[in-house]
Structure 1
Amino acid sequence: MITSPGDGVLLLGPVELRWAGAPVTLPRRQQRLLLGVLALSPNRVVPLQRLTEVFWPDQPPQGARRQIQVLVSRLRSLLTGVSASTGAPASTGAAVSEVRLRGAGSGYELCIDPMTVDAHRFAVLKHRAGASADDEEKSALLRQALDLWRGPALDEAAVGAARETLCVRLEEARREAIEEHAEASLRLGRHRQILGALAEEVAADPLRERLAGLLMLALYRSGRVSEALDVFERSRARLTGDLGLDVGPALVRLRQDIVCGDPRLGRRSGAPDAAGRPGDLEGEGLVMLGLGRIRFTQDRFTESVAAYEEARRAFQRLGDRRHLASAMSGLGTVRAEGGWFAEGEAHLTEALSIFTALGDVAGKAHATYMLGFVARERGDDELALWLLGRALAAYRKVGYRRGEALLQRSIGLVHRARGEYPRAAARTRASRRLFAALADPHGVAYADQSLAKILIRVGDLAQAEQALQASLHTFAGKGDRFGRALLLRTLGELRLEQGATAEARGALSASLALWDTLELPLWRARTLAVLARLEHRYGEAGHADAARRESSAIFSRIGSRESG
């Protein structure tokens, strides 16, 4: 029988089996996936065909049926072993009297009390909250439901297509619960308490209008009108750029009501909460964490750093290591991409250490990826390839295809810098295919820009032109100033090789102006280096020397690969 209130099957995070108050080791990912699939349908037969489709979504291998039978047999043996260790009668043939795994016709059934499966408990609590007319009860039930989540559903068990098949509804239900909890909290006047959680969710899913509206209302009621309007503008930019859609009428009306100070929105508070309470400090930290992400995606690097620094200080005071690691990782990412390599490396190394201790695979993967980025930018190619390879393997393990696309492009950049153009092109084209499959035109544009650089180096200027024109349109439409500056620099290189000096100067000048606006000296220096080549070849020696001296000074100060 169940011996501890925490015993059962945990699916809302890494898949775990807990018995007698302790985890039961499930050493293989496929074992955890099998348990997850069966526990999602407790006391119902899961057909063998369904299991085959989950394990091999493209094409099942020969002997697939036998492989599943072996997995079932091993899982049944494991449960039986737990039974023996907890003193259940051996004649039951199962781990405990409430749980057994049995074959039924052409499938398998996990016989278990559904309330010992956290995904089922979550669904029950959410349903009870939806049926309640009392906001206090609704809020409490939804808080209990959301507290069951320890990470992405079936984390590290379901990957790739299996994750999409099994986890989409669960993740959608979680987002609905967050929204319903926020709505109840707003009706109870607890707008400040939910700001942090809402900011984090909107940063993770900026296309979800209901979430954006709730954050806007919470910010407005907290007296932060400009930030509420900024959320609207960010949502509109993403919806238009990513999906080609207009903002929905509800969000447009909310924005208008905020601008007009409509009293129907509720009381707007102009005074901050009392400082020093842990709840307030956590909320402040989460808001700053979300704001740091938003400012980074807007290419507002200085503001992003400031927000992440505030988040870091808040989580250090609270002793909240998980969110501290996220703040350090964000801070390191902005520093690294801005060209402040020493600071970025220090922050990312600390984040990696914490993520490793917490067992956060996704966090480790991103920190490793960015440390590989720093190694590449400093010219330590062997270290960069090792780090980027580890990050790529981690992203593949968790089924994060966008991360895989980013890593393929980044590895391609190392090979390009080494003059290994066929390898660079292969990696870059793999990145482009992944982004295209994800319907991510922004990612495709970055891959095209990288490919154009390779094509310029090998002298295929016509193909480079084609790639750059498609990218330029995408970057301009998204308002991506960093991407546009990068593309203009590459266009300047292309025009230089084509002998179109006036157009090359125009593109490089426009790129320099954007780098100055973004306050990114490293990228300015790289553009100056191209301008120096142009002036040396077609212009005045004095201008070439001045551009070369300035760029060399920046490279030396920053310690980039060009400084060697």
Structure 2
Amino acid sequence: MLGTLSLCEAGISFMPTAAKPRQVLAMFATHADRVLPVATLVKELWGDTPPPSFQTTLQTYIAHIRSHLRAALLQSDEHRHRSPKDVLVTHPGGYLLNTGGGSVDVREFERHTFAGYRAMDSGDHVVASRKLRSALALWRGPALADINAGPLLRLEIQRLEEARLCAVERRIEADLHLGRHREVLSELTVLVRQHPENESLCGHFMIALYRSGRCGNALEAFQRLRGTLIRDLGIEPSAALRELHLAMLGGASGLDLAGLRTMRPGPHRMTRAAS
């Protein structure tokens, strides 16, 4: 799911080519090993106005997916005895995609990120950087990039992309703790342009620039963010970011140290810009 959707049984893909069955299969993938109610599938496919024939249409999509599953199972000597209904299981009121203990990239991503966050909290930035890099390496592009998403899948895609961005922010924070400011500078240059209102990324960018001897550019980054927040939201940057800005204006030597605690802004206090 962390890229184009790909599902395999015994190493053999059973992805259909038709858009609607792929959308249904994406829903099963996001609810792997859990019963997915028919009502939830209907909401994803047709919103609040399903057609009169929605039950028949949905059953046609399920049959289409199972036919692809059957073809994949027949190609595997090890799994030839399994039925498509053993993988895509019918339950009262819904269906369940049975992974049989197989690998799900979203689960692997979450496992690595949680380990990285725990390492960050304990001050082990080497492990944190390594775990978060492993998590981010699982991504092959935007989440479910080849799926025509309805309202529920769009929410799931948004959740996954936000989790990805959080992992990127924390990995860069770990790298800054390790003195890797020059290594992350080019990455941050792109990220702050993609997320012009993100204060954490701006703070990381300012520190990387400042430590690289580019104090003027660091101060310019703060002013760009401040201008964006005032123009679009009518608020000032957070207290943490303003303190970082003041420290740079004062030429604080501590910001050059690799062991500095990166100033990661907390919850934004709504400081309104002066009119």
What is the alpha-carbon distance in structure 2 between the residues aligned to residue 113 and residue 131 of structure 1?
Answer: 29
Partner of 1:88: 78
The answer on whether the counterparts of 1:114 and 1:120 sit within 8 Å (CA) in structure 2 is: no
Q: For 1:482-501, what aligned pairs fall within 5 Å after superposition?
A: none
Q: Give the alignment of 1:428-443 within 5 angstroms.
A: none
Kept after mapping to 1: 8 A contact 2:23/2:149: no
Aligned length: 255
1:119/1:234 CA distance change after superposition, 3 Å: same
Give me the whole-angstrom Cα distance separating, in 2, the residues matched to 1:185 and 1:71.
47
**Map of 2:263 onto structure 1:** none
2:132 corresponds in structure 1 to 142
Alignment CA distance shift 1:214-1:93 (3 Å):
same
Q: How does 1:221-300 map to 2 (within 5 A)?
A: 221-267=211-257
Equivalent position amino acid for 2:63 in 1 = S
Structure 1 residue 90 displacement after superposition? 3.6
> How far did 1:93 drift?
0.4
Structure 2 residue 104 is matched with structure 1 residue 106 = no
Q: CA deviation at 1:45?
A: 0.4
CA distance in 2, matches of 1:113, 1:178: 31
Contact preservation (8 Å) 2:143, 2:160: yes
Report what 2:34 is aligned to: 44
Aligned to 2:144: 154
1:55–1:162 CA contact under 8 A, matched in 2? no
**Cα offset for 1:18?**
4.0
In the TM superposition, residue 128 of structure 1 has moved relative to its aligned partner by 1.3
User: Would the alpha carbon gap of residues 43 and 162 (structure 1) be closer, same or farther in structure 2, given more than 3 Å must change?
Assistant: closer
Question: 1:34 aligns to what?
Answer: 24
Distance across 2 between alignment mates of 1:37 and 1:54: 8
Q: Is the 8 A contact 1:114 1:121 kept in 2?
A: no
Partner in structure 1 of residue 157 of structure 2? 167
Deviation at 1:161, TM superposition (A): 3.2
Q: How does 1:342-353 map to 2 (within 5 A)?
A: none
Give the aligned residue type for 1:205.
H
Q: Which runs of 5+ in 1 are unaligned?
A: 1-10, 269-564
**59, 62, 65: which is aligned to 2:52?**
62
Q: Residue in 2 aligned with 1:219?
A: 209
What's 1:556 paired with?
none
C-alpha contact (below 8 Å) 1:29/1:156 kept by paired residues: no
Provide TM-score, normalisation by structure 2.
0.85
1-side partners of 2:236 and 2:216: how far apart?
Answer: 21
Residues in 1 aligned to 2:102 and 2:252: alpha-carbon distance in whole angstroms: 45
Return the offset for 1:212.
1.3
Measured after TM superposition, the shift of residue 40 of structure 1 is 1.6
SS at match of 2:116: helix
Counterpart for residue 123 of structure 1: 110
**Residues 229/56 of structure 1: CA separation in 2 closer, same or farther (3 Å cut):** farther
User: Alignment partner of 1:102: what SS?
Assistant: strand
Task: Indicate the SS of the match to 1:194.
Answer: helix
The equivalent residue for 1:295 is: none
**Cα distance in 1 for residues equivalent to 2:38 and 2:182:** 49
Displacement, 1:121? Answer: 0.8
> Where does 1:503-514 land on structure 2 (aligned, <5 Å)?
none
- The structure with the largest alpha-carbon Rg is 1
Distance 2:102 2:255 in 1: 39
| Equivalent in 53, 62, 76 of residue 66 of structure 2 | 76
- Are 1:181 and 2:168 an aligned pair? no
Is residue 15–residue 22 contact of structure 2 (8 Å, CA) maintained in 1? no
Alpha-carbon distance in 2 for matches of 1:124, 1:192: 28
From the superposition, tell whether residues 114 and 91 of structure 1 become closer, same or farther in structure 2 (CA, over 3 Å): closer
Cα gap change, 1:18 to 1:191, in 2 (>3 Å): farther
Distance 1:182 1:113, change over 3 A: farther
After superposition, the Cα gap between the structure-2 partners of 1:265 and 1:15, relative to the gap in structure 1 and judged at 3 Å, is: same
For residue 130 of structure 1, report the CA deviation from its aligned partner: 1.5
Separation (CA, whole Å) in 2 of partners of 1:81 and 1:217: 55
Q: SS where residue 43 of structure 1 aligns?
A: coil
Cα RMSD, aligned residues only: 2.2
Which digits, 9 at most, give the CA deviation of each residue in 1:97-144, with x for residues without a partner? Answer: xx7111111111111156511111101111111222321111111001
Q: Tell me which of 181, 195, 201 is aligned to 2:185.
A: 195
Cα offsets for 1:223-259 (capped at 9, x unmatched): 1222222221221122122222221111111111122
Identity of aligned residues (%): 34
Q: Secondary structure at the match of 1:116?
A: coil
Unaligned runs of 5+ in 2: 259-275
How far did residue 175 of structure 1 move?
0.8
The one-character-per-residue Cα deviations of 1:183-208 (angstroms, maximum 9, x if unpaired) are 11011111111122222222111111
**Deviation at 1:221?**
1.2
Per-residue displacement from partner, 1:491-544 (whole Å, max 9, x unpaired)? Answer: xxxxxxxxxxxxxxxxxxxxxxxxxxxxxxxxxxxxxxxxxxxxxxxxxxxxxx
Instruction: Tell me the amino acid that sits aligned with residue 109 of structure 1.
Output: L
Say which SS state the counterpart of residue 7 (structure 2) adopts: strand
* Higher RCO (CA < 8 A, seq sep 6+): 2
Q: 1:42 to 1:23 in 2, by over 3 A?
A: closer
Q: Distance in 1 between matches of 2:7 and 2:244?
A: 45
Q: How far does residue 266 in structure 1 lie from its aligned partner after superposition?
A: 2.9
- Residue pair 1:17, 1:24 contacting (<8 A) in 2 also: yes
Using a 3 Å threshold, how does the CA distance of structure 1 residues 58 and 241 change in structure 2: closer, same or farther? farther
d(CA) in 2 for partners of 1:92, 1:158: 30
